[in-house]
Structure formats: C-alpha cells, structure tokens
Structure 1
Amino acid sequence: MDKISIQADWLDGMAFETEVNGHKLIIDADEKVGGTNRGPRPKPLMLVALAGCTGMDVVSILKKMREDVKKFRVSVEALQTDDHPKHYVEMKVIYEFWGNNLNPENVNKAVKLSDEKYCGVSAAYRKGMKLTHEVIIHNE
C-alpha cells in the first residue's frame, strides 16, 4: 500500500498554500467567514477531483476504442446538507460528448469502466454518498 501525503501551510486569515504534483495551489474561504477569496474552497475541489479522475479514464479508454471524440465535458453536481458539518450526500456526474459517429455502446462502456473499475475518487466517494451519472452524446 502506498502512503500519499500533502502539506498545507497557513498563509494568513483562512488561506493555506499547498503543492500538488509540483503545482502550487492556494485554498481560501469566502470573505463572509474571514477569508479573502485568494483561491477555491476545499469542498468544491472534491467535485474537481471526481471530474478529473473519471474524465481522464474515459478519454483514455475511448482513445483505445478509436472513437472520434471532438469535445468532451464532465460536469459534477452535488447535494450538500444544510446542517454542520455540511457535507455532500450525493453527486451526479454528467458526461457530455461531441464527435463523429460516436458509438453509444463504446461511450457507455468507457463511462462504466471508469465508474466501476478505474476511478479511485469515485470508489472512495461511493463509500460515503450516492453517486449517479448521465451520458449525453452529440453526433456531428
């Protein structure tokens, strides 16, 4: 088992700086709670992590299937509790494809493989919340 770690160094106010894979990132809070809006909030980055993880899987799989994808968008919608600690209880991943004669069976297979086998983010999130997805194909 690999041990992965990050450090987040407090800058001031509510801002922290971290480095991920050699890229610096500042996370901060909204001004209403003492931040200065110098960077994204931590929780929405959970949605980014899911979109990136599954998106990379799907692109890789569809390239191997030789599907002619011209444009691809991954959107993630989340439902958050109203009470503290506010947390996500459900996420929906929307995969939207544009291309020439895309085979719906291959597209759905790529999404399913990412969802069920390859994406470690969705595997972890599924243990704590409901995950669903939708596939939209625009053949040009």
Structure 2
Amino acid sequence: MKSTLDLNWTGKMSFEADMSGHKIVLDADPSVGGEDKGVRPKPLMLLALAGCTAMDVVSILKKMRVEIEDFKVRVEADMTEEHPKHYSKMHVIYIFKGKDLPKEKIEKAVNLSDEKYCGVSAVYKKAMELTHEIRIEE
C-alpha cells in the first residue's frame, strides 16, 4: 500500500498540503523568515503519535464497554541541541477521567495500542526512546 502527499510552497517559508480534504498549513517563525501562518513540522510528530494512540485506546475501550467521561493524551518530547535537531525521547501520558474506571482494562487498552496497533509508535520506537504512563482521575 502506497501513500502520497503533495506539499505546495505558498511563499516565503509557508507550505500547504491537502490531506483527505483538510488543509494543513506549515510555516516558520518570523525570526527565520516565516510569517507564523501555520504549525511547525516537527511538533506534528507529537500530534501524529498522540492521535494514533488516542484513537486506538478509545476504540479498544469502546469494545471493552468502558465508559470514560474525559480523555486526554499528552506527549512530552526531548529534542537534541545539535543539528540535525531531532526528538531523542518521547513520553506519552494518558489521562482518563471517570467514575470507577477499571484500571486493568485501561492498562490493557494502552498496552495494546503501544505494542500492537499504533503504527506511529512502532516507527518512533526504532528511532528514539518511547515511554508512557497512565493517570486515572475521578
């Protein structure tokens, strides 16, 4: 299966892509010639990881009939100081809110995403340290 993406230059340091009918705009900080019209490319790596694993976890918990009131995924990343600057470590924090949430089922859902289903984390694990933690709040 092959995927293709076209990224079109729109002037200065700004670029635009159409992804499944959704416009994504990338741009740089004004200090390096951009106009801050869009997001930076590297932080999208954090979003890709958060989105991939969050969708897995919600889907798995739904199949387990676990009702959550609120759910958030936070990704913390460490970046190298030398060029090429890249993420050397990412830590995923899963934050669940709800009454009497079954810790074992939540752990199972997170582990299934981490070990089996999330393609983004599978690739990132080959390039950097990837860890996670679960927080359950009532």
SS of residue matched to 1:35: coil
CA distance in 1, matches of 2:12, 2:49: 28
Letter in 2 for 1:127: K
Query: Aligned to 1:68, what secondary structure does the other structure show?
Result: coil
- Looking at structure 1, the residues matched to 39 and 122 of structure 2 have their Cα atoms a distance apart, in angstroms, of 24
- 8 Å contact from structure 1 (residues 57, 114) kept in 2: yes
Q: Is the partner of 1:122 in helix, strand or coil?
A: helix
Matched residue type, 1:138 = E
- Quote the RMSD (CA, aligned, Å): 0.6
**How far did residue 118 of structure 1 move?**
0.3
The corresponding residue for 1:26 is 25
The corresponding residue for 1:106 is 105
Note the residue ranges of structure 1 that are not aligned, 5 or more in a row: none
1:22: Cα distance to partner? 1.2
Partners of 1:67 and 1:78 lie apart in 2 by 29
Q: Specify the code of the residue in structure 2 equivalent to 1:101.
A: D
**Alignment deviations for residues 89-124 of structure 1 (CA, whole Å, 9 cap, x no partner):** 100000000012110000000000000000000001
Distance 2:135 2:32 in 1: 38
- Asked if 1:88 corresponds to 2:87, the answer is yes
Count residues in correspondence: 138
CA contact (8 A) 1:68 1:101 kept: no
- SS of 2:2's equivalent? coil
Say if 1:16 and 1:28, in contact at 8 Å, map to a contact too. yes
- TM-score scaled by structure 1? 0.97
Residue 54 of structure 1: CA displacement?
0.1
Q: Which residue of 1 aligns with 2:125?
A: 126
> Which residue of 1 is the match for residue 41 of structure 2?
42
**C-alpha contact (below 8 Å) 1:14/1:36 kept by paired residues:** yes
List per-residue Cα deviations over 1:52-82 (Å, max 9, x = no partner).
Answer: 0000000000011111100000000000000
Distance 1:21 1:130 in 2: 31
After TM superposition, where is structure 1 displaced by more than 6 Å over at least 4 residues in a row?
A: none
Unmatched runs of 5 consecutive residues or more in structure 2: none
TM-score by length of 2: 0.98
Code of the aligned partner of 2:46: L
Distance 1:132 1:5 in 2: 30
Percent of residue pairs identical: 58
Tell me the SS of whatever aligns to 1:42.
coil
Matched, 1:10 2:9: yes
